[in-house]
Amino acid sequence: MSQRDDGLPGGRSETFGAADRVRRRGEYRQIQSRGTKVHSRRFLWMVHPSLVGSDAPRLGIVVTKKLGCAVRRNRIKRVLREVFRRNRTLFPDGVDVVAVAKNGLDVASLGYHDLLEEIRAARLNLQRAARRAQAAAASREEKAS
């Protein structure tokens, strides 16, 4: 089965498949422990060089039970996945990004356009964090060899 080409850069489609997600617990732990952190109003973003060697960004989402019932937590994840799916170019290439929802996040006010503007505002910081994370990973590899 071939992937649909919707005319996005690099022949990417607007799907959110397994290759677009951080899926394993070990990957989450590595990104959270070694990643570069960026704060925005509603989320803490952790940026780490791609663990699977992909040029496309991957997204992981963490929403704790402190933020409310499953309906609220799932809404946060659904809106964030939709913003990522439709606006992948806002995220740096070649990195894995884990978004951790901050306590006090008002789910009722969380809309697609609000979150899109928040990510656009954090875009430069995410790109800087990606460069720092890639430089740190390169220095770790250099020390190891």
Domains of the chain and CATH, by start: 9-132 (3.30.230.10)
What mean pLDDT value characterizes the chain?
Answer: 87
38-80 pLDDT, tens digit per residue, is 999 999 999 999 988 888 899 999 999 998 899 999 999 999 9
Contact call for residues 61 and 77 (beta carbons, < 8 A): yes
Instruction: Look at residue 5 and give its three-state secondary structure.
Output: coil
d(CA 102, CA 123): 18
Q: Of 34, 59, 60, 62, which is closest to residue 48 (Cα–Cα)?
A: 34
pTM: 0.84
Q: Is the pLDDT of residue 119 over 50?
A: yes
